[in-house]
Amino acid sequence: MNKTEKHKILVIDDEKSNIIELTDILEESYDVLAVRDSLKAQEIAERQLPDIILLDVIMPEMDGYEVIEALKKSPKTRDIPVIFITGLDSIDAEEKGLGLGAADYITKPFHTAIVRMRINNQIKILESDIIKKHEQMVSNTLSSMESILNSIDASIYATIPETGEILFLNTYMKKSFGIEGDEAIGKYCYKVFRHGFEKMCKFCPCYELNENPDKVVVWDEYITEMDIHVRHSDCYIKWYDGRTVHLQHAVDITELVKTNERAQAASRAKSEFLANMSHEIRTPLNAIVGMTTIGKREKDAERKNYSFSKIDEASTHLLGIVNDILDLAKIEASKLVLLQVEFDFREMINKVLAMAHVGSDERNQTIDVSIDEKIPATIIGDDQRLSQVVANLLSNAVKFTNNNGKIKLDVQLSGKTDDYCELRVDVTDNGIGISPESLEKLFGAFEQVETGTTRSYRGTGLGLAISKQIVEAMNGRIWAQSQLEKGSTFSFTVRVLQGTGSVEAVSENDAAASDKDNVETESDLFTGKLMLAVEDMASNRYVLTTLLENSGLNIDCAVNGKEALDMFAADPDKYDIIFMDVRMPIMNGYEATECIRALDIAKAKKIPIIALTANVFSDDIEKCLKAGMNGHIGKPMDVGKVIEVLKKYLTH
């Protein structure tokens, strides 16, 4: 009952004067109701539910004994204290009334002090009973709640949100923290569960729950001291006493995390690493090896020089990167060993730019370069690793920037001591950009962000992860800023030793070059035959068509599986053989082959389809054959094998 509300007294008496007198005595302290018709007494009592009933004994229709019997039979009124008011001065009458359940007797004429005292005594008894019942209910509720919470195999505790004082800990949590009995009750949670904390944790979920009390905050944590991973669920609930308290439920997910990590590591290492690395390394190598063959065979000096001046540097550099990538496990295990050699920094940058220009020139992109003049002429560090990072960022910028786009390489001296200098490198483009969500996972191994958008751009997702490891091994850091459709800036810093400034330049003529035999094909061997070459990379199409230009074979090109399907379906009798790449945008080689074989055209069932791909593992070959291909040629392309396959299917 609200303390401002008065207790309600119902007077049942047929004498109006008695009602008036009792009202005068009680109305100052109580809310007095009255009924003179004993037949209506029970109905009014059930409706009003007073705290005490004053009941006259002698009344017409129904006397007080009959009324009290009816009141005690009703579930609604049976617990209401009834005090008889009567002028009868008889032990038998009093005994009968008490026997029927009356709580007390007040005799007439009324004495004001006695009436008030007897009513007040009943109110005290009533309030005491209510308190006892409430305490018993609370005790039962708390006991049931504790039994339930103690039976759960997870840590559960409750605190006062404002202070962090502990109200309850279940048995599981006590065992986890070595807590005996109730020794932690009343103490601050941050002192009991957090070593060295003197105030509420900054990451306490109560701050977030204060903003949204109906929210459930779920968060994971690794507890270093206990070497466990825990998933917390925090919320506000009503406690047994009506207070709002903070309740936390924490589950040990260590085995789940470890199992998940092991499964992800195994899957990533086997599937993504091998498949992605095989394809992405072999594909550019195909262009390099093929163009080297073309360059050696060329009679025109300008074309020969163009091929070899670019490819010799690129192939040496790329082979170094291949070795680094295949050694990724060592890098991830923090066993990366950096070489300390003195090298010409600007010459290293120029070599990287020469490789980047191969792609940017093809797309009519401009690369602006700014190198701080205060950077020493020579520095001491791992030039191959450093150039690998710069090359990766430039390669990505070229890849994700549209034709005619702009790229900028900016290198600054951001710090210097007598021995060391800190370099900062920024690569900025005005390309497709990266979403905020994708920026968070940008430097994770095997991550390729915006997969729906970048499928046509290709990529392993390993380059940035490796770059991050290299940069951090050089006491630096790497980060990115980006806006969708506006471009990106990738930045990194490294700490290197200053060189002496005297590094002997290595002439291109002094560099050892491999001398591969010229590959010649029999002139006009396949005259009158037409190949459909399906390859999305322009350089690889150039290699294939140039290597076969003296063979008499005519070649049509498609840049993806969908285009190849349309070209073949339009004039199937036109083509004698199809060379099909596997990984392509829009429609891959497997899908294209299956679609061609499914055409209701006789030629579609028998035309030779040969996979020409960097996917070279046994399951890749099996997948090609299962899709309906007749054979498989791996990249880098062996021209001799290509001729053998062409002879097999085009000469009879």
* For the ranges 50-64, 129-143, 219-233, the one whose mean pLDDT is highest: 50-64
**Is 523's pLDDT higher than 80?**
no
Q: Per-residue pLDDT tens for 573-615?
A: 999 999 999 999 999 999 999 999 999 999 999 999 999 988 7
**Is 277's pLDDT higher than 80?**
no
pLDDT at 138: 65
> CA angle 184-190-193, nearest 5°?
65
If pLDDT is split at 50, 70 and 90, which confidence band does 134 have?
confident
If pLDDT is split at 50, 70 and 90, which confidence band does 519 have?
very low
**Is 50's pLDDT higher than 70?**
yes
Q: Are 613 and 582 in contact (CB under 8 A)?
A: yes
Helices (H), 49-182: 64-73, 91-99, 112-150, 171-177
Cα distances (angstroms) measured from residue 627 to each of 84, 227, 594? 100, 49, 6
pLDDT at 209: 93
pLDDT at 266: 64
**Is 626's pLDDT higher than 90?**
yes
Cis check: omega of the bond before 608, within 30 degrees of 0? no
**Is 500's pLDDT higher than 90?**
no
**Is 2's pLDDT higher than 70?**
no
Chain-centroid distance of CA 495 in Å reads 33
Chain-centroid distance of CA 223 in Å reads 20
Predicted TM-score (pTM) of the model is: 0.38
pLDDT at 506: 41
Token pair of 152 as six digits:
């759960």
If pLDDT is split at 50, 70 and 90, which confidence band does 367 have?
very high
- Which one is predicted more confidently, 264 or 617? 264
**Is 623's pLDDT higher than 80?**
yes
If pLDDT is split at 50, 70 and 90, which confidence band does 570 have?
very high
Mean pLDDT of 119-135: 83
If pLDDT is split at 50, 70 and 90, which confidence band does 454 have?
very low
Q: Rounded to whole angstroms, how far apart are CA atoms 399 and 291?
A: 21
If pLDDT is split at 50, 70 and 90, which confidence band does 517 have?
very low
Mean pLDDT of 49-67: 92
Question: What 3 state SS string does 407-448 have?
Answer: EEEEEEEEEECCCEEEEEEEEEECCCCCCHHHHCCCCCCCCC
If pLDDT is split at 50, 70 and 90, which confidence band does 511 have?
very low
pLDDT over 90 percentage in the chain: 46
pLDDT at 284: 62
If pLDDT is split at 50, 70 and 90, which confidence band does 572 have?
very high
pLDDT at 334: 58
Mean pLDDT of 148-161: 85
